[in-house]
Structure 1
Amino acid sequence: MSALPECETLKLETEKGLLHVTLNRPDSRNAMSLAMVHELREVFAAIRDETEPRAVVLRGTGGHFCAGGDVKDMASARSQKVEDGEDPIFELNRAFGRLLTEVESAPQTTVAVLEGAVMGGGFGLACVTDVALCMEDAKFGLPETTLGITPAQIAPFVVRRIGLTRARRLALTGHRFGGSEAFWLGVVHDFAKSGEELETKVAKTLERVRHCAPRASRMTKELLLSVETEPLESLLDRAAADFAGAVRGDEGQEGTMAFMQKRKPSWAEE
């Protein structure tokens, strides 16, 4: 793994092919400041072309995931003048959208561990991860319209996650809900009633990630994310070429041999 950037708003920890990224602004319930956006983008840029880590775990400190955008940053941007056609508010908002795109398209498997506040920008960040697990008493919502603003960068990712009809209700009523409803809506994939149960579910998820071949997982994620944007015939042609390469590749040969020999493949032995 290449060197990770120095961060002030994040805690970074690596172990066994994993990168743990913890949002670390507990005094503001890990509100998403512009500095945090930049640091998260730097972290994902640093690992994009790396084979390690195989998975990224996103969570927050102080009992919360993320309470949304930082109001102080928005107030600061509002007080700045628009110069040469560049609007500070536009740039602040658009930077967060770029972060969401980069996290969603990261080749690593991303796992969100959600506690406490999962609001606004935190909700959007959860919606671009591959696997999301939460506490039953976590608090989710899109409160933007109740504040006189719009969920501008978040909305497309929420729609893709849970569908247009459900997203319309959440965004246009400011409805707030807990972990069990988040599971029912499809925001998260599972929820837990206690911290111990949540950690057990996280550990089991990461164990399953380790059982999947790293290169095959990256190719599969790219394939899945291309379904909505690439014409079907060209997508299937590319998928067939990738499949042929995988079967002939080291992982395909090792996986087949391990299955026949009734043992774990090499990538699952860490």
Structure 2
Amino acid sequence: MESLPHCETLLLEKNGPALHVTINRPDVRNAMSLQMVAELSTVFSQIESDLHIRAVVIRGAGGHFCAGGDIKDMAGARGQKAGDGEADPFYRLNRAFGQMIQQVNESSKVVIAVTEGAVMGGGFGLACVSDVAIAGATAKFGMPETTLGVIPAQIAPFVVERIGLTQARRLALLGLRIDAEEACRLGIVHQTAGSDGELREQIDRAIDRVRQCAPVATAETKALLHRVGHESMSGLLDSAAEKFAKAIRGDEGAEGTLAFMQKRPPAWAGEEH
């Protein structure tokens, strides 16, 4: 396993097959700074080829997930001027965030978002690119950008992918804030927890399920799901059949079949695999 990068805005802890990433700027409700964006991107880049890490659990310190973009970075960008041939500082700031969100969305790892307190703007977008999202009782979700005179430029496409155009329109155009129960009904999160103990149990269950699934097969499945709707169905199914044949002939396919016949857990279900 590769060593984890040093981060100033994130706390990193490896536990079994999961990397726990805690956004650690509680004094500003974990607002997303450019440094945090860069550090999240570095973490996901570094773990991409590490088969020992199969899940990434993202949560916030101090009772909040992430309250959106950092006002100081916005003020700093306002004071900058684009040089000749350079992009507008606000464009660079916004686009860097979008690139990180896309990277998390397409990560081969199972991304588990544990949402509590403020889940706004960029934090809302981060929740919408998770594979499993769990909401604590205090979670409040929203896209407040239009109430601030700006637009949810980088997160809007991912919100539409998550909950569909009609619900995304209502949330974005009215700048609504919704609770955990409504977020679950809309499909922003998959489950809610009424207490800290229940939240921990749901996280543990999700990680245990990740452990039962073969890492390469899981990564290939996630990549396949992301291709749906972006290419012709017949071509997609041709490609998927090729990947299926490769998988079943590969090490994981052989081990999974043998384990099933021998009525034992597959090798990857062990603690350190």
Take 2:7 and 2:248, find their aligned partners in 1: how far apart are those partners? 40
- Mapping of 1:213-232 within 5 angstroms? 213-232=214-233
1:157 and 2:153 aligned: no
Q: Which amino acid aligns with 1:42?
A: T
Structure 1 residues without counterparts, runs of 5 or longer: none
Indicate the residue corresponding to 2:241 in structure 1. Answer: 240
- Mapping of 1:140-179 within 5 angstroms? 140-179=141-180
Cα shift readout 1:72-117 (whole Å, capped 9, x = no counterpart): 1111101111212421110000000000100000001110001111
Take 2:142 and 2:175, find their aligned partners in 1: how far apart are those partners? 7
1:75 and 2:100 aligned: no
Cα shift readout 1:149-208 (whole Å, capped 9, x = no counterpart): 000001000000000000000000011111000000100000011111111011001101
Indicate the residue corresponding to 1:97 in structure 2. Answer: 98
Indicate the residue corresponding to 1:252 in structure 2. Answer: 253
Q: Secondary structure at the match of 1:11?
A: strand
Take 1:70 and 1:228, find their aligned partners in 2: how far apart are those partners? 34
1:212 and 2:213 aligned: yes
Alpha-carbon distance, 1:225 to partner: 0.6
Cα shift readout 1:8-63 (whole Å, capped 9, x = no counterpart): 00001112121111100010000000000000001111112222211111011000
Alpha-carbon distance, 1:5 to partner: 1.6
Take 1:127 and 1:208, find their aligned partners in 2: how far apart are those partners? 20
Indicate the residue corresponding to 2:54 in structure 1. Answer: 54
Q: Which amino acid aligns with 1:110?
A: V
Take 1:200 and 1:160, find their aligned partners in 2: how far apart are those partners? 28
Take 1:261 and 1:252, find their aligned partners in 2: how far apart are those partners? 14
Alpha-carbon distance, 1:134 to partner: 0.7
Take 1:58 and 1:232, find their aligned partners in 2: how far apart are those partners? 33
Alpha-carbon distance, 1:231 to partner: 2.0
Take 1:196 and 1:3, find their aligned partners in 2: how far apart are those partners? 31
**Bigger shift: 149-158 or 129-138?**
129-138
Take 2:19 and 2:228, find their aligned partners in 1: how far apart are those partners? 27
Indicate the residue corresponding to 1:30 in structure 2. Answer: 30
Q: TM-score, normalised by structure 1?
A: 0.98
1:86 and 2:87 aligned: yes
Q: Which runs of 4+ in 1 moved over 6 A?
A: none
Q: Percent identity?
A: 60
Alpha-carbon distance, 1:256 to partner: 1.2
Take 2:19 and 2:98, find their aligned partners in 1: how far apart are those partners? 22
Q: Which amino acid aligns with 1:77?
A: A
Q: Secondary structure at the match of 1:62?
A: helix
1:125 and 2:129 aligned: no
Alpha-carbon distance, 1:137 to partner: 2.4
Cα shift readout 1:191-250 (whole Å, capped 9, x = no counterpart): 011111111011001101100011100100010011122222221111101101111111
Q: TM-score, normalised by structure 2?
A: 0.97
Indicate the residue corresponding to 2:41 in structure 1. Answer: 41
Take 2:218 and 2:226, find their aligned partners in 1: how far apart are those partners? 12
1:11 and 2:11 aligned: yes
Structure 2 residues without counterparts, runs of 5 or longer: none
**Bigger shift: 28-37 or 45-54?**
45-54
Take 1:5 and 1:230, find their aligned partners in 2: how far apart are those partners? 36
Indicate the residue corresponding to 1:194 in structure 2. Answer: 195
Take 2:119 and 2:213, find their aligned partners in 1: how far apart are those partners? 29
**Bigger shift: 23-32 or 47-56?**
47-56
Take 2:232 and 2:28, find their aligned partners in 1: how far apart are those partners? 44
